[in-house]
Amino acid sequence: MQKTMLVTGATGFTGRWIARQGKELGIRLVGTSFSKAVPDADYSELYACDLTDKSSIEAILAQVKPNYVLHLAAISFVAHGSVQDIYQTNLVGTVNLLDAIKTTCPAVQKVLVASSGNVYGNSAELPITERTQLSPVNDYAVSKVAMEYACRSRMADLPIIITRPFNYTGVGQAEHFLLPKIVAAFKRQQAVLELGNLDVARDFTDVRDLATAYLKLVESNVDSEEFNLCSGKPVNLMQVIEMMQRITGFKLGVQVNPAFVRSNEVKQLYGSEDKLRAVIGDYRHYTDLEETLAWMYSSK
């Protein structure tokens, strides 16, 4: 019998890649979106849903009766302007969803909730493992830590997996995120690009590999666990610029804009994915960041 997966945040960056790969696996995909977008060919049904309205998600769950729930809906931009929106969406929205699942479809086989590698903050323990102390340094990360605790308090009733993806990127990611911003500047052959902290190093994963990992976790035999999703290879911003210069043959100037500099910036963030690989095996097909950047550059 065909399995049904409900994906929240279905029309977002990650949701679209989940849909493409899930459809290839023969999963019936049903999505929710804060504002219902143009129908997506990869979703059999798409509902408008505000997760801060519990009755709305309860009605959808009762109708869909999913085997799996993949919770991606969130405010995912660290510098989002409204702190209240961050907590309402990331914490309250998640609590509403979990409690609605418990009420309407308690026999659900797996619930995957996307947290963030940002929960670890400025950790001196590198590479970061799932045992590393959580130390959030901004409201986005605090909202994700609170969300994780809300999940743990419900693990006795629901089979919940928490993922902690570090930075990931690919075609379709909004330009206000760092790597798409850099790629777009090269596409425009921009003379000078203004950035914030240049000394930061990040751990990047291709979104296609992230989607593969999520789908493998949903169909795995584990629950009530947290998993890092990371490459284990830190890359700094100037290395990214150099990669783009090799890809394009274009030289771009970089200036620090004080308005973009964050006083509480996480300087270096990379982790270990050993625990994840022990469960789902080797899932990566796009291990070279320069290859991912070239894919983003060549896309329309």
**CATH entry 2.60.120.10 includes domain 4-168+206-232+271-285:** no
Per-residue pLDDT reduced to its tens digit, 85-113: 999 999 999 999 999 999 999 999 999 99
Phi, psi of 114 (to 5 degrees): -85, 115
Please state whether 284 falls in left (phi above 0), alpha (psi between -120 and 50) or beta: beta
- Residues 61-68 have a mean pLDDT of 97
Of 222, 217, 231, 219, give the one whose Cα is nearest residue 272: 231
Decide if pLDDT at 230 tops 60.
yes
Decide if pLDDT at 121 tops 60.
yes
Task: For residue 248, give the 3-state DSSP assignment.
Answer: helix
Confidence at residue 244, expressed as pLDDT on a 0 to 100 scale: 98
Place of tokens 């009766």: 65
> Do 90 and 116 meet the contact criterion of CB atoms below 8 Å apart?
no
DSSP letter at 12 equals: S
Confidence at residue 199, expressed as pLDDT on a 0 to 100 scale: 82
Per-residue pLDDT reduced to its tens digit, 271-280: 999 999 999 9
Cβ neighbours of 45 (radius 10 Å): 17
Per-residue pLDDT reduced to its tens digit, 244-283: 999 999 999 999 888 888 776 777 889 999 999 999 999 9
Say which residues have a Cβ less than 8 Å from residue 286's Cβ, sequence separation at least 6: 206, 208, 209, 292
Of 13, 72, 57, give the one whose Cα is nearest residue 296: 13
Q: For residues 289 and 193, what is the distance between their CA atoms, to the nearest angstrom?
A: 20
Angle at 284 between CA 94 and CA 247, to 5 degrees: 105
- Residues 12-28 have a mean pLDDT of 92
- Residues 145-161 have a mean pLDDT of 98
Q: Rg of the Cα trace of the chain?
A: 19
Q: Where are the domains of the chain?
A: 4-168+206-232+271-285
Confidence at residue 1, expressed as pLDDT on a 0 to 100 scale: 81
Confidence at residue 269, expressed as pLDDT on a 0 to 100 scale: 83
Confidence at residue 258, expressed as pLDDT on a 0 to 100 scale: 86
Average pLDDT along the chain: 93
- H-helix or E-strand containing 294? helix 289-298
Q: For residues 14 and 73, what is the distance between their CA atoms, to the nearest angstrom?
A: 9
Q: For residues 168 and 13, what is the distance between their CA atoms, to the nearest angstrom?
A: 10
Q: For residues 114 and 14, what is the distance between their CA atoms, to the nearest angstrom?
A: 10
Per-residue pLDDT reduced to its tens digit, 169-226: 999 999 989 999 999 999 999 999 999 888 889 999 999 999 999 999 999 999 999 9
Confidence at residue 38, expressed as pLDDT on a 0 to 100 scale: 57
pTM for this predicted structure? 0.94
Decide if pLDDT at 77 tops 70.
no
Q: Are strands 253-256 and 205-206 parallel, antiparallel or unpaired?
A: unpaired
Decide if pLDDT at 141 tops 70.
yes
Per-residue pLDDT reduced to its tens digit, 22-50: 988 899 999 999 876 555 678 999 999 99
> Do 206 and 229 meet the contact criterion of CB atoms below 8 Å apart?
no
The DSSP secondary structure of 27-65, one letter per residue, reads -EEEEEESS--SPPTT-SEEEE--TT-HHHHHHHHHHH-
Q: Within a 13 Å sphere around the CA of 235, how many CA atoms are in the beta-carbon half? A: 23
Q: How far is CA 250 from CA 187, 190, 244, 254, in A?
A: 10, 9, 8, 13
Q: For residues 181 and 46, what is the distance between their CA atoms, to the nearest angstrom?
A: 29
